[in-house]
Amino acid sequence: MPRQAPRFRPPGWKPKEPWAKPPHQADNRKRGRAGQRDRATVLREEPLCRRCLERGLTAASVEVDHIVPLARGGGDERSNKQGLCKACHDAKSAEERAAGRYGPR
């Protein structure tokens, strides 16, 4: 059973930029194996959450965070990544969402 209704396009129709990434992939995030390898490396190098360490706490880092978010032009290289615990990552993401909504980008 088809999951999507067929899209009818006029004869001769072509996508404007067939080489462009689809909008949900329009960032510079590494995907697939390359992305998984990078995540594993960051978590191995930073077993403790950076934000918690700054506050004198000790929590295992379980998530890899982009220090400058990809959506703000941050790169997907090692220097822009840090290991965070789930609570810190959620808090940072919430801050970034709020800043995106109400502040300058």
Interacting residues with Zn ion (CB under 5 A):
49, 51-52, 59, 85, 88
Q: Which is nearer to Zn ion, 69 or 88 (CB)?
A: 88
Q: Which is nearer to Zn ion, 34 or 91 (CB)?
A: 91
Q: Which is nearer to Zn ion, 69 or 92 (CB)?
A: 92
In the structure, how many helices (H) and strands (E) does the chain have?
A: 3, 2
Q: Kindly state the smallest distance separating residue 70's Cβ from Zn ion, in Å.
A: 21
Q: Kindly state the smallest distance separating residue 4's Cβ from Zn ion, in Å.
A: 41
Q: Which is nearer to Zn ion, 86 or 97 (CB)?
A: 86
Q: Kindly state the smallest distance separating residue 85's Cβ from Zn ion, in Å.
A: 3
Q: Which residues lie closer than 8 Å to 74 by C-beta, 6 or more apart?
A: 66, 67, 68, 80
CA distance 44 to 31: 19
Sign, CA torsion 97/45/43/59: negative
Q: Kindly state the smallest distance separating residue 32's Cβ from Zn ion, in Å.
A: 28
Please give the single-letter amino acid code of residue 7.
Answer: R
